[in-house]
Amino acid sequence: MTPGPRVSPAARRLLLAAGVFGPAVLLEVGLDRFVADSSVRQLVMTAAINVMIAASLNVINGMAGQFSIGHAGFVGLGAYAAAIVASHLHLALGGGDPTFAHSLVVVPAAVAAGAAVASLAGVLVGLPSLRLKGDYLAIVTLGFAEMFRLVLTSVPLDAKSGVAGAIAKLGGQIGYSGASGQGVPLYAGPLWVFGAASLIVVATWRIKFSGWGRALRALREDEIAASAVGVDPTRYKVTSFVIAAFGAGVAGALSAIMRDGIGIVQPDQFDFRLSFDAITMVILGGSGSITGAVVGALFVTFTVKLIELAQGLDAVRLFQSEHAWLDLNALRMVLYASVLIALMIRRPEGLFGEREPLFARKPRGAAPAGAA
Amino acid sequence: MSALTLGSVGITFGGLRAVSDVSFEVPAGSIFGLIGPNGAGKTTLFNLVTGVYRPTSGTIRFGDVDLVGKKPAAIAAAGVARTFQNIRLFGQLSVLDNVLVACETTRTTGLGGALGRTRAFADDEGAMRARALELLRVFDLEGVADEQPTSLSYGNQRRLEIARAMMLRPRLLLLDEPAAGMNYGEAEGLKAQIRWLRDEFRLTVVLVEHNMQVVMGVCEELHVLDHGETIAHGTPEAIKRHPKVLAAYLGEEELAPGDLELAAP
């Protein structure tokens, strides 16, 4: 009921669109120009991809109160599907250097493929989630992700025919580097990566603050009461899995074809460590909070990088040369873990709990927050 | 015309017959009481009607609709709402959101509308909100709409459960011990509220209740269970004098025989 500045709905939509795509367009134009170091550009884009991964996992682990530890599987499926589609399209379009004009065709096709494949897997993994809860569901999701990875790594590379032959073309442990083996074409510039990250954040926001989000939270609280008022657990749980898998597929797709990426998709990029990183991001920020997922993703991405950078400092190097027994790589993980433990002791519910601190919900009677 | 028809309904859990061969008809538009001592199978019958359990034998019809084998959400969507003996509210959701959860079956826009924030979605959401607030006003909960249900008094939590059930736009409302924990005055208020609900929304109400002040004061017809079996059926006046009913209640320590008489108007 607070009398805010009156903005017409159309104007709000326009503002939102500008807020969502403005930064993406600016980065598309400016990132290459102003950030000369491609490793920094890669880091910034990786952060955006991690935001997508955390925001989508938040739909399952936060909003729906399920516990998936296999999110890397969905990301990986998206990455492989997109890499295959992108590299074949690239060849069909005549090869050469990826151009912006071509990216308008290749990126949507590759992302759609990645999202579709991941969503399909989301249905398959979502179905057992109806009967399983807590630890048991977690094991199913972990099993799915590991199956995906192990099938890719353990296929004999000399297989020529059948399913094994098709999978062997993906390069096994070594990884998939495009149809011609020249590397996956890197079409997705900042516009795509940041645009998709913004879209996914807005989409999960809108799901949270709608009847769907409300129904998911109700199911999380009390399944019997929720189904007694017409919330069908099957429909809502499976759909939440599919939504999360879709987001993870988009993230994986863009990670495979992003500019300044590495041009190769490997099974080990999608092992359980990625799943656990994703869970860390969500829990750190606060399960169910979208602000939390975004902040958690940025925090994890940059903290790991900062510790890496600190490793390269002269003072640190000097220190290590004097103490040869010191394993800096191991220490990095200890340091990272300490930061996480300290945070979780200080704030057991994560940084924001389930709240969205920058966007306090309006009192009742007003439109729900984020209804722009 | 009966709103709810049970035909020889029975259910066994393992070797235990929780309900056996129970048949009755609830006339449309009536306030119907289901009573009996603890463990008589009353709540189990509610769970059978709402699809939480599937009967081992017998038929359950809601108007023309066969309810056996339907999932709880589908039964709710068909127009059967209920409350719970042990209150089941969504603790982390606000009071208003608790009621709004029940609008999923009647809303006209789906996930697409929510993602696109279409005008239809806004209108839909606005209408649902208005209706939920109206229900909260009816149940005198308007002032606590933004609070967590756990902060409400016991009586208010029970009323919130009814408000949430009413959000479904049900034609049949099953109330499981709505007067539990209420004092005399609150129970009188509840009686008036149940009658008002029935008249205002043209409902059929089935009530499981131990509070005889409420049962005898508001029910038009009673069905009495003991150990999962029907022992009597009739008007409150007849039931009060029924020897089997008196015997069943005499066997219970908590209720003295006079309790039934005390409840006379």
CATH numbers and ranges of domains, chain A: 15-269 (1.10.3470)
Q: Verify whether the Cβ–Cβ distance B90 to A365 is below 8 Å.
A: no
The DSSP string of B15-51 is TEEEEEEEEEEEETT-EEEEE-STTSSHHHHHHHHTT
Q: Residue B39 region, left (φ>0) first, then alpha (ψ -120 to 50), else beta?
A: left
Give residue ranges of A with CB < 8 Å to any B CB.
9, 13, 203, 206-207, 210-212, 214-215, 217-218, 220-222, 224-235, 239, 354, 363-365, 367-368, 371-372
Closest-approach residue (CA) in chain B for A9: B119
* Dist. CA A106–CA A185, nearest whole Å: 10
Nearest to A275 by CA among A132, A176, A141: A141
Distance CA A367, CA B18 (A): 48
Q: Do A221 and B50 touch (CB under 8 A)?
A: no
**Contact list, A62 vs chain B (CB under 8 Å):** none
Q: What is the pLDDT of residues B186-236, one digit of tens each?
A: 899 999 999 999 999 999 999 999 999 899 999 999 999 999 999 999 999
Give residue limits of the domains in chain B. Answer: 1-79+170-265, 91-168
Residue of A202, A158, A214 lying closest to A12 (CA atoms) = A202
Q: Which residue of A has its CA nearest to B169?
A: A229
Sheet bearing B65-66, strands edge to edge: B16-27, B2-13, B57-62, B65-66
Domain B1-79+170-265, CATH class in plain words? alpha beta
- Checking if the pLDDT of B259 tops 60, the result is no
Nearest to A365 among B74, B107, B133 (CB): B133
Looking at the DSSP bridge assignments, the partners of residue A176 are: A265
Q: By CA distance, what is A212's nearest residue in B?
A: B111
Strand ranges for B101-177 from DSSP E: 172-176
User: Would you state the pLDDT for residue B99?
Assistant: 96
Shortest CA distance from A199: residue in chain B: B115
ipTM of model over 0.85:
yes
Distance from the A311 Cα atom to the nearest Cα atom in chain B, whole angstroms: 44
pLDDT digits (tens, 9 = 90+) for A179-217: 888 889 999 989 999 999 999 999 999 999 998 999 999
Confidence grade of residue B251 (pLDDT, cut at 50, 70, 90): low
Output the pLDDT for position A372: 37
How high is the pLDDT of residue A360?
A: 58
> Which residues is B204 bridged to in the sheet?
B172
| A122-153 tens-digit pLDDT | 999 888 877 777 788 889 999 999 999 999 99
> Do A211 and B102 lie within an 8 Å CB cutoff?
no
Smallest Cα distance from B112 to chain A, Å:
10
Distance between CA atoms of A189 and A29, rounded to whole angstroms? 10
10-residue mean pLDDT series, chain A (372 residues) = 60 83 83 82 94 96 89 96 95 86 92 97 86 83 93 85 84 86 89 94 93 92 93 91 96 94 92 92 91 94 84 82 78 81 85 78 44 38
**Under an 8 A CB cutoff, do B126 and A371 touch?**
no
Task: Report whether B199 contacts B138 (CB < 8 A).
Answer: no
Confidence of residue B115 (pLDDT cuts 50, 70, 90): confident
Q: What is the mean pLDDT of chain B?
A: 90
- State the pLDDT at residue A371: 40
Show the beta-strand stretches assigned E in chain B: 2-13, 16-27, 31-35, 57-62, 65-66, 80-82, 172-176, 204-208, 221-226, 229-234
Closest Cα in chain B, distance from residue A202 (Å): 8
> Residue B94: its chain A contacts at CB < 8 A?
364
Residues of B within 8 A of A363 (CB-CB) are 146
Q: Which residue has the tokens 């060849």?
A: A91
| Chain A residues with beta carbon closer than 8 angstroms to that of B144 | none
Beta carbon pairs, A and B, within 8 Å: 112
